[in-house]
C-alpha cells in the first residue's frame, strides 16, 4: 500500500510516519513536491494537510483531481472558507487537527479495507 503524505510540519510528519511505519510512505512538504511526486508515481492513498508553506493542497487537487483511490485531508482550519470550498468541490473526507495518531491509523485501515471501484 503506497501512501503519499503531504505535511509541512516536521513534528507532525514524524508522528504520522511512525504511525504508518508498516506502509510504504513517501512524504512531500510543499505543493510543488506533492505535484512532482504525483506526476511520477501512483499512490493508493493521499494523506494531505490543507495549509502548506507554498499554498494550499487545493492547488494539488486542481491539477490532480483524483490523485489516488483514497484521499484523506487533515487540517487545523476546518472552518476556513477555502477549505470548505475544497471539501464541497472534491468531497474528500478530512480529520480536524489535532487528532491522536490512533485515529489516523484507524482511518487508513478503513480505507485499505474498502474495495477500490474500477
Block means of pLDDT (10 residues each) for the chain, length 118 residues? 97 97 97 97 96 95 92 94 92 95 96 77
pTM above 0.85, yes or no: yes
Q: Which three cell numbers stand for residue 90?
A: 472534491
**What CATH number should be reported for the domain whose range is 2-113?**
3.40.50.2300
Tell me the CA distances in angstroms from 8 to 1, 26, 88, 89, 114, one per residue in order. Answer: 22, 13, 24, 23, 28
Where do the domains of the chain lie? 2-113
Question: Is the preceding omega at residue 108 within 30 degrees of 0, hence cis?
Answer: no
Amino acid at each position: 500500500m503506497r501512501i503519499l503524505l503531504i505535511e509541512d510540519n516536521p513534528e507532525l510528519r514524524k508522528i504520522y510516519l511512525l504511525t504508518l511505519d508498516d506502509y510504504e510512505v513517501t512524504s512531500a512538504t510543499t505543493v510543488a513536491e506533492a505535484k512532482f511526486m504525483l506526476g511520477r508515481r501512483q499512490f493508493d492513498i493521499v494523506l494531505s494537510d490543507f495549509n502548506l508553506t507554498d499554498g494550499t493542497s487545493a492547488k494539488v487537487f486542481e491539477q490532480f483531481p483524483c490523485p489516488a483511490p483514497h484521499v484523506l485531508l487533515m487540517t487545523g482550519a476546518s472552518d476556513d472558507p477555502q477549505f470548505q470550498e475544497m471539501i464541497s468541490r472534491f468531497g474528500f473526507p478530512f480529520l480536524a487537527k489535532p487528532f491522536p495518531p490512533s485515529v489516523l491509523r484507524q482511518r487508513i485501515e478503513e480505507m485499505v479495507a474498502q474495495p477500490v471501484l474500477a
